Amino acid sequence: MFKAHSRRWAPIFFVSLSIFAFQAGVAEAAKRVALLIGNEKYEATSQLNNPANDVELMKQSFEDAGFDTVTTVHDVDRGSMVKALRDFEDTATGADVAIIYYSGHGMEMNGENFLLPVDVSLKTDKDVEDEAIPLDRVQRSLEGATRLKLVILDACRNNPFEQSMTRSISTRAVSRGLARVEPESADLLVAFASKAGTVAMDGEGKNSPFATALSKYLTEPGVDVRIALGKVRDEVVSATNREQEPFVYGSLGGAQIFLNIKEVNINVTNNGNTQEVSPNGQSAAAADWQNIRDLADKDLIEVFLTKHGSDPVYKMLAEKKLKLLEEAAQTSVTPDEIAWEALKQSTDAAALTRFLERYPDSKHKAEAEVQIAALEPKKGLNISQTGKDTQASRDCYLLAGEPQSMPGFLGVGFPKIDSSRALTACAQAVNENPDDMMLVNMLGRAQDAGRNYVDARANYQKAADGGNMYALTNLAWFSIYGTDGPVDIEKGKSMFEQAAGAGNAYAQASLGWLYREGYGGVPQDYAEALRLYTASANQGYANAMATLGWFYREGNGVPKDFDQSLSWYQKAAEGGDANAMSSLGWAYQNGLGTTQDYLEAKKWYEKAANVGDSYSMALLGWFYDVGNGVPQDYAQARNWYEMAANAGSAYAMGNLSRLYDFGLGTKADPKEAVRWAAASVEGGDPSKLNEMKTSPNNFTPAFRKEIQALLRDRGFYSGPLDGEFGAATLAAIDRLASKT
């Protein structure tokens, strides 16, 4: 059921519903324009072979992607080139996306880049500024675009005038290729065919290697431009035997940008059967709900309902949220206040980022920024294997970082990865620093969370080949669970062993899980599992510490020792493990290794609830429901149960049903009670199913009639609405449960 470390096993004593984030952006029509310039027939120097073909290839790509305007010009002199740029400046104004692609000669002088029209002669270096076009002028033509300004330069060839040009001033330096740029304009990327100071190749075919890769990936449907440029880089490096490495300069914001907005579904072949997949069988409705449930936004919820109205559980949750927002609209409470109430103690970086994006003018903006900053790798900590610490790389760690992968860094458990935001950050980070294999691995994690298993595997493999043991462990889980192909336990186990032998704590815990569970034919061996978890825990891996707490509490492979159990849970909780926090609450609630202390239990459940643990939210509801350690308060119980239900707890849904049935903490409402009960059963809560089948008198007569009405509406029941749970009603309840 679980997948990739903290998502892959339940080390404590319960299995809670894990909700996976995936890219769920709805593409919308947007003006996209492009200018393509191909200069090959130079008058005063050698001609080029490919620019005309490259321009036509790119023209076809942009037109197929549905661009509104694609303008091409060939073999232009300086005056015509300036005119083309000036005309495009008007075209680009107000466009969402504006792109200039240039194939031809270029040069660098004194750190400034120039593109060469076909009529240049460049007898001396004094002529460069008069005869060539500075890159700054090209960039200025894009200033009016609002979301993406992209300059693509297939112009990093050898400067043909380098030897013949007279140097009038000795300090003027003319170098190979083009100089690196640091774009100052917002939302501007400059893509070089080959990184600064190196030269590109024309290739042996009719198109350059760079143009060939661009045409293949840049307008791939549903692929963010940063991901696309990363794919281009990888293909060119491979095609040229590493003699040419494209590079991207500049950065974008957090939103994904697609050059081709056609909708695509990602399919994988699993044991010969092709099917649309979601992580570990998690429904698309649950995944989308994860991305909007912490926002108080009526429009987003209505879009969700349009898309997922056929899912009864999440339809009900969305309708409930709409009702709450409508009630709040009658007061002075603003949407950002409602959203912030659920996030003010959160350690969910993606949720906090969504809050800032949705409510940029909220008075809680500074608080959210402080909370986000606390979740980033500590300032001054060297986070880059290559020594390049950029904002994009820090954002990538914030949104997709491997848990406890560096001292004091909490990281992101797989279920918490917001694939859309993580993809944009990690793609940019990898574009800036393609040799940092941890960043490549985290890009794979973002793609994995977004169900793009083909690219996830490719990046995991690339990072693993580069020596990253986190990536090797992630690849192993693909084999263990048959994520994108046949299940191969031995292959996965072998990869775990390799990474664990290299000292990777994540791999040690993963291998420990195989032995603990006796999974997939691996002999169950508590002693070996304990050894591996201990090795992992001794490196500060919080999940392993929590699992050691479970070993000592349950007495599996070791004598029961509640003191030891409590100690490990404490260490794991301090490391940010939500399961350990819940387990500490359970220990204090039941006096395991400590005196029974409901207030201390409540404190730990609240800590776990603040990091999104639905089990702890539900138990807090139960505390107020029965008056354990707190005054009995059905209204508070209902609030906690609703938070847990909103996070996916079927158990909490079942308890909400009882509160609405009997009017506890709210007005009695049999219809609402039945909706929650049905959601609980459909969500997989066995206790509510059993209660409905074996103890119908636990429910009011009005409830029993309403559940029969719901079963009839769903097509499961055709008998009378008499409130009597006979054989037909019980069979209908079973059919309701079988839809889970």
DSSP string, 32-52: EEEEEEE----SSS---SSHH
For residue 539, pLDDT over 90 is answered with: yes
Amino acid letter for position 646: N
8 A C-beta contact, residue 299 and residue 259: no
For residue 286, pLDDT over 80 is answered with: no
Its sign, for the CA torsion 637, 340, 17, 551, is negative
Tokens of 553: 């509490």
8 A C-beta contact, residue 154 and residue 134: no
- Read off the pTM: 0.75
Q: How confident is the model at residue 254, as a pLDDT?
A: 61
Give CA torsion, residues 42, 48, 51, 54, to 10 deg. 170
- The crossing angle, in degrees rounded to 10, of helices 335-343 and 365-375 is 30
Question: Please, which pLDDT band fits residue 472 given cuts at 50, 70 and 90?
Answer: very high
708 backbone dihedrals φ, ψ, rounded to 5°: -65, -35
294 backbone dihedrals φ, ψ, rounded to 5°: -95, 10
34 backbone dihedrals φ, ψ, rounded to 5°: -145, 145
Sort strands 148-154 and 188-192 into parallel, antiparallel or unpaired: parallel
Q: Where are the domains of the chain?
A: 32-250, 613-740
* Domain 613-740 top-level CATH class: mainly alpha
Over residues 567-617, the pLDDT tens digits come to 999 999 998 888 999 999 999 999 999 999 999 999 999 999 888 888 999
Which of 104, 113, 195, 102 lies closest to 153, judged by CA?
102
Over residues 619-653, the pLDDT tens digits come to 999 999 999 889 999 999 998 998 899 888 999 99
Tokens of 400: 């997709």
Name the E strands within 127-231: 133-134, 148-154, 174-175, 188-192
**Separation between Cα atoms, residue 277 and residue 287, nearest integer Å:** 12
**Separation between Cα atoms, residue 357 and residue 425, nearest integer Å:** 14
**Separation between Cα atoms, residue 731 and residue 740, nearest integer Å:** 15
Which of 736, 737, 669, 734 lies closest to 700, judged by CA?
669
**Separation between Cα atoms, residue 704 and residue 517, nearest integer Å:** 41
Between 481 and 203, where is the model more confident?
Answer: 481
Bridge partners of 70?
Answer: 34
Tokens of 433: 């620093």
CA distances (Å), origin 75, targets 45, 103, 104, 284: 13, 10, 9, 50
Its sign, for the CA torsion 484, 486, 487, 489, is negative
Over residues 382-428, the pLDDT tens digits come to 777 776 778 888 889 999 999 989 888 889 988 788 888 898 889 98
Compute the chain's Rg from CA coordinates: 30
Reduced to 3 states (helix: H, G, I; strand: E, B; else coil), residue 114 is strand
Tokens of 726: 């006979």
Question: Please, which pLDDT band fits residue 131 given cuts at 50, 70 and 90?
Answer: very high
Tokens of 310: 């056929």
Percent of the chain with pLDDT over 70: 88
pLDDT, the chain, mean: 84
Count of beta carbons in the 10 Å neighbourhood of residue 245: 18
8 A C-beta contact, residue 474 and residue 501: no
Count of beta carbons in the 10 Å neighbourhood of residue 706: 24
For residue 25, pLDDT over 50 is answered with: no
**Separation between Cα atoms, residue 628 and residue 601, nearest integer Å:** 10
Reduced to 3 states (helix: H, G, I; strand: E, B; else coil), residue 672 is helix
Q: How confident is the model at residue 267, as a pLDDT?
A: 33
**Separation between Cα atoms, residue 482 and residue 650, nearest integer Å:** 28
Tokens of 633: 């308060």
Over residues 144-194, the pLDDT tens digits come to 999 899 999 998 656 667 656 655 543 333 445 687 787 877 789 999 988
First-to-last C-alpha distance (Å) of the chain: 15
For residue 28, pLDDT over 50 is answered with: no
For residue 276, pLDDT over 50 is answered with: no
With respect to CATH, is domain 32-250 assigned 3.40.50.1460? yes
